[in-house]
Structure 1
Amino acid sequence: MKISIILTFTILLPTVLSAFGQYKISGTVKDEKGEPLTAASVSIPKLGLFTLSDSEGGFILNNIPKGKWSLEAGVVGYGKYRAEIDIDSTDVQKNIMLTPNHNTGLNEVVVSGTLKEVSKTGSPVPVEVYTSKFFKANPTPSIFDALQNINGVKPQLNCNICNTGDIHINGLEGPYTMILIDGMPIVSGLSTVYGLSGIPQSLIDRVEIVKGPASTLYGSEAVGGLINVITKRPGNTPRLSADAFVTGWGEVNTDLGARFGVGKKASTLLGVNYFNYQNPLDKNGDNFTDVTLQNRVSVFSKWSIDRSGNREFSMAARYVYEDRWGGEMNWSPKYRGGGEVYGESIYTSRWETFGTYQLPMKERVLFQFSANGHKQNSAYGNTWYLADQYVGYGQLNWFKTMGRHDLLTGLTYRYTYYDDNTYATTSANGLHNEPTHTHLPGVFMQDEITMNGNNKLLLGLRYDYNSIHGSILTPRVNYKWNSNDKNNIIRLSFGNGYRVANVFTEDHAALTGAREVVFANNLDPETSWNGNLNFVKKIVAGTTFVGLDATAFYTHFSNKIIADYETDPNKIIYDNLSGYAISKGLSLNVDVAFQNGLKILAGATAMDVYDKEGGVKTRQLFAEKFTGTWNISYTLKPIGLTLDYTGSVYSPMRLPLLSKTDPRSEYSPWWSIQNIQLTKSLGQKMEIYGGVKNLLNWTPNKGTPFIISRAYDPFDKNVQFDANGQAMATPENPYGLTFDPNYVYAPNQGIRGFLGLRYRLF
């Protein structure tokens, strides 16, 4: 109850303060081709007013008094803009056009690679940036689904019934990917499975992705890479925005956003996301829902206060509640947790708060903080999973420039409380419950050395002390070379990462299939060493822009935590690998923009992910050899009509069979999900969009006898077991299988149409 009151107060406080500004200047920042420029600075220096343009080029400066003021704008790679603005008695609409000062293409501002705002081309760490415009080409109800069209990133479903999943980067499983919101490690541990749901897409400014270990800056869970979801700045969003769509399956998704001015220097952003799907369908005929039914609401508030010297204090809060279930078609809540009708029912209640405060010091010192609580109440058939997790995090960053050295030093502390009703928090004697308390203090140092205009060297080192596993040291080295015109960039990266086992993330599959989880030994932290070679080439041919981004990656794991699904079909056995594991491959992104409105963004990744123990090489489960993505867009500017064709294709991946007699294929086939959308602008404030998802109507049941093992006997009532607990082949069970829903590699949702509407009021 106290938490609810605090959250309500945090969210509503900025909106009820009765203070009003004076006048405002709003508009867009675009290049000479009419393309929006993201993260362009717009300011009135004399008044100390400053903002950055959003992913659509939009900006707002509030609380401007009457008079004549000099308005300035700029972004890396473009010339400066200055204009005199006369504020008399009305708000001013001003559209700004910036012209390139050299042929560098687009230069977004990124923060994820080095914790500092730098141009994408200037960062020694390769960072991929995807703005909200990219995600609008294929609208989805959650950021989890939206990532499916990014090269090398795959939302992987892990259960055919509850439809939960995780994010794979370059073939590495979800626990290797760190999810940040505004740079804070919000989505981790217990929330890894459900934490990406309910982030309102209308509030997302951009998503930054770093592939490869980032443990030096971000600690554990950033071994395979990180995804940083950056929300919009409160002072730079529309007064009102709405985005809603429905699909032919009966899904309804609504995003609402509103901005409020609070006094002369404060503003707040309030957002609500609501998703509802209550139409159980069984198109593959196994008497189980093809897609989980969901009822989810998320409330988000972010507010900032501009202080003297352009120092800013910002804070955000989010609350998510979700009720989802999947199972047999005749399931209803009265069967929850029972053994009569099988269903997986999950209640999720989650709150988060995080913020940044710039200390009033001569040096630039930032304090970042976050806290979150996650409560899980789940019933997987007649197996209950009840869990609570609380995480507190604080980080103090000190930035200092000394000649050619750009220094960053940070102190961090993370506290995690975890409790559940399983063996994981049971005392050694099994007589009482013992929640875990993990303390993780750390310190990191980074030195970005600008040797000259063409060469940069980044050195980093982090030390953490895990209260369970002890001391952990993670270094990294990054080198960047660029040509004089910055159209050719080479980056070399070498770093170390580590990961500790997370109970819920590791054994979630066991709960859904009623498998027993076995930890063969006390799991030691994994260690990885990674090397990346990145090459970026920009080509300007007349009015056509071509961007090439190629990466070769190699990661070597020791002590890797392995999930063994195959030794015993009734168990998942976790242990540290006594050998080693490898993830290696090549990735290429191609970005082409024509003046006629045609844009092509395509990518492909070829990789090999495997374990080697005792001289035996084993390909990792759910890791494809090849994946490709594309986003093709064409805009007819005279009539305001845009066509988007998006898709992804995957090569076969190894799947978890229950036994040698399992009749399902050990490998998935080649498969592809493709979508098409038309968007029509209706003036400056509104647009309507619609199209078809999954054009090929691909679902994983094609070409296989079944995808859920023994769906007709989910409680194994008719399975006979031998003395070793192994399922026996009988006339009723000829393959000797048990009930299991973990044979899944693609969504069960087939072709469907959708229709939506967007509205923005500045």
Structure 2
Amino acid sequence: MKFTYLVTFLFLYQFAFAQNSISGKVLLDNAPLAHVSITIENETVGTQTDANGKYELQNLKNGTYKIKASHTGLKAATKTVVVKNNQKAQLNFELDFDDALDEVVVSATMRAVSRIDSPMPVDVIQNGFFLKNPTANIFEGLQTVNGVKPQINCSVCNTGDIHINGLEGPYTMILIDGMPIVSGLSTVYGLSGIPNSLIERVEIVKGPASSLYGSEAIGGLINVITKDVYKAPKFTADIFSTSWAETNIDLGFATQVGKKANVLTGVNAFYYDTPIDNNGDNFTDLTLQKRASVFQKWDFNRKSGKAFSVAGRYFYEDRWGGEMQWNKSHRGGDQVYGESIYTSRYELLGNYEFNTHFPLRATFSYTDHDQNSVYGTTPYLAKQRIGFGQLLHAKTYGRNDLLLGAAMRYNYYNDNTPATQTADEYVMPSIFVQNDFKIDEKQNVLIGARYDYNSIHGHIFTARSLSL
């Protein structure tokens, strides 16, 4: 008799809990839509639609569920469904374009918000701007943006930095997908070799952002955001040449690896090897450059629908400028003046969103920069390595949009100059908090603070207050 009860209980348990499921299809303009996020309200369970627009949520308990279908740039849709007793419910969605959707920006608050609701003004430069105004790199492409000034600091080797609102280059932070991988030694070359075919948009914050990003963002920041792997075209090519025989090639590829990952690959090559001296001073008017860069971004599909991506870039450049008769045999010599710079650099960055009720996101980056250069007879050999990790919690509590963060930065720098007898190496942990309090529909109060401890320079405290 007990055995019969046990079998009956197991059967009913499986019948009531293990067999319930919700499946369906998501359409856009009557066509299947892939990579739509399907989530259950107040649950961590979720999935994404496949290439045919289909999804399925399995092993659900008896109950009433609110199912939400969302996709970037489209109006989200929510439907309620009741499942019980071995039911396989069907729930289809038809999404629409959101014509009223304002641009979403992330740079001012480290979280996605509508541009109109951003507590700080954010200039957004879309990819189409760079396509209509072709340049060999973003450094040159930003010269028409008001308040942003790419400045050439060396007339022979044509290196420079970017000034925002008149402040010097070291006070402008440059990010890629929110990661501070362009700083210190690499600031001069950080915006070279990023394939334009991979850029979704560039967000520019003019003004202090150091309470969130640290002292390098006193003047402002530039955040280069790469394309969403799911929306990127399978192949793009952008090739142009100038009357000075400059040639730039940008190639982009988007592929799917099985069912678990999507990969975005970008290749950039720039070639200019024709010395020109139009002003007759026996010096090259434009630095000669041979540059190659490869970027790859992996976006992994998780059942929860949470983000997980890893990206890497390798960059190599050979540039020189100087007297017209200079060649590589004169490098470092005193017979013919020339400035020659070899740069080798690689970057790694990642983003992982934890599948927990307490919203938590981890980001990390690592860069290795190696510069071998000579300026006439003076060599400058330098290496810099930067590691960065960060944990973020962002959530809305009533009228409060709260952001909590903790970060750790490791910096190694060494060169052959007397100023660096030993390697400059430090670790800098940081904590920061920011709250955007909404008084009413038109007024907000933003307050924030950041504490850094530099193992060499000591304590650094930054406060921020803004009323809108």
Rounded Cα–Cα distance in structure 1 between residues aligned with 2:385 and 2:55: 51
| 1:132/1:467 CA distance change after superposition, 3 Å | same
Which residue of the partner structure matches residue 38 of structure 2? 45
Report whether the alignment pairs 1:461 with 2:449.
yes
Measure the CA separation in 2 of the matches of 1:26 and 1:170. Answer: 43
Residue 80 of structure 1 and its aligned partner are, at CA, apart by: 6.1
CA shift at 1:196, angstroms? 1.1
2:465 matches 1:477: yes
Query: Counterpart in 2 of 1:142?
Result: 137
Matches within 5 A, 1:510-659: none
1:118 aligns with 2:106: no
Shift of 1:458: 1.3
2:412 match: 417
Aligned counterpart for 2:429 among listed residues 431, 438, 441: 441
The 1-side partners of 2:356 and 2:102 are apart by: 31
8 Å Cα contact 2:172-2:220 kept in structure 1: yes
User: For the residues of structure 2 that align with 1:338 and 1:255, how far apart are their CA atoms?
Assistant: 36
Partner of 2:236: 241
- C-alpha distance in 1 between matches for 2:330 and 2:28: 55
Q: Report the Cα distance in structure 1 between the residues aligned to 2:432 and 2:55, rounded to whole angstroms.
A: 47
Pair 1:389–1:46, CA change in 2 (3 A): closer
* Higher relative contact order (Cα pairs below 8 Å, separated by 6+ residues): 1
- C-alpha contact (below 8 Å) 1:363/1:399 kept by paired residues: no
Q: Once structures 1 and 2 are overlaid, which stretch shifts more, 195-204 or 234-243?
A: 234-243
Shift of 1:317: 0.2
Matches within 5 A, 1:79-90: none
Q: C-alpha offsets along residues 129-154 of structure 1, whole Å, 9 cap, x if unaligned?
A: 11111222211010100101100101
Aligned pair partner of 1:393 in 388, 393, 397: 388
Residue in 1 that maps onto 2:85: none
Q: What is the root-mean-square deviation in Å for CA atoms of aligned residues?
A: 2.9
Deviation at 1:65, TM superposition (A): 6.2
Report the Cα distance in structure 2 between the residues aligned to 1:199 and 1:145, rounded to whole angstroms: 12
1:360 positional shift: 2.5
Cα pair 1:287 1:328 within 8 Å, conserved: yes
1:338 to 317, 333, 339: 333
Cα offset for 1:159?
1.1
Structure 2 Cα separation of the partners of residues 452 and 394 of structure 1? 36
Question: SS at 2:215's partner residue?
Answer: coil
Q: 1:46 to 1:218 in 2, by over 3 A?
A: closer
CA distance in 1, matches of 2:229, 2:55: 25
Would the alpha carbon gap of residues 479 and 383 (structure 1) be closer, same or farther in structure 2, given more than 3 Å must change? same
Query: In the aligned structure 2, how far is the partner of 1:408 from the partner of 1:369?
Result: 18
Task: State the SS of the aligned residue for 2:109.
Answer: coil
Q: Deviations over 1:699-747 (max 9, x none)?
A: xxxxxxxxxxxxxxxxxxxxxxxxxxxxxxxxxxxxxxxxxxxxxxxxx
d(CA) in 1 for partners of 2:347 and 2:105? Answer: 24
Aligned pair in 2 of structure 1 residues 75, 437: CA closer, same or farther (>3 Å)? closer
CA distance in 1, matches of 2:144, 2:47: 37
Question: Is 1:313 aligned to residue 308 of structure 2?
Answer: yes
Cα contact 1:352–1:370 (8 A) shared by 2 = yes
Whole-angstrom CA distance in 2 between matches of 1:440 and 1:196: 25
CA gap of 1:292–1:452, structure 2 versus 1, over 3 A, is: same
Equivalent position of 1:188 in the other structure: 183
Segments of structure 2 that go 5 or more residues without pairing to the other structure are: 1-24, 41-45, 57-66, 79-93
- Partner Cα distance (2:288, 2:281) in 1: 17
Contact 1:405 1:447 in 2 (8 A): yes
Q: Which moved more, 1:261-270 or 1:415-424?
A: 261-270
Number of residue pairs aligned between Structure 1 and Structure 2: 414
SS of residue matched to 2:230: helix
Alpha-carbon distance change, 363 to 95 in structure 1, aligned in 2, over 3 angstroms: closer
CA 1:205 to 1:289, structure 2 compared with 1: closer, same or farther past 3 Å? Answer: same
> Is 1:158 the counterpart of 2:153 in the alignment?
yes
Matches within 5 A, 1:725-736: none
Contact 1:63 1:265 in 2 (8 A): no
**1:271 Cα deviation from its structure 2 partner:** 0.8
- 1:312-358 CA-partner distances (Å, limit 9, x unpaired): 11110000000000110000000000010000000000000001111
Q: Counterparts of 2:193 and 2:180 in 1: how far apart (Å)?
A: 16
In the alignment, what sits opposite 1:175?
Answer: 170
Q: 1:204 aligns with which of 187, 199, 208?
A: 199
Paired letter, 1:423 = P
Deviation string, structure 1 residues 258-311 (Cα, Å, up to 9, x no partner): 111122232111110000001110001100000011000000000111213321
SS of structure 1 residue aligned to 2:117: coil
CA contact (8 A) 1:270 1:302 kept: yes
Match of 2:364 among 363, 366, 369: 369
What is the rounded CA distance, in whole Å, between the counterparts of 1:95 and 1:404 in structure 2?
29
Matched, 1:220 2:208: no
3-state SS of 1:134 partner: helix
| Partner residue in 1 for 2:319 | 324
Equivalence for 1:257: 252
Q: Give aligned-pair identity as a percent.
A: 54
Aligned position for 2:84: none
**Residue by residue, what CA displacement relative to the aligned partner does 1:555-592 show, whole Å, maximum 9, x if unpaired?**
xxxxxxxxxxxxxxxxxxxxxxxxxxxxxxxxxxxxxx
Which residue is equivalent to 2:14? none
TM-score normalised according to structure 1 size: 0.51
- Is contact 1:74–1:81 with CA below 8 Å preserved after alignment? no
Distance 1:272 1:261 in 2: 18
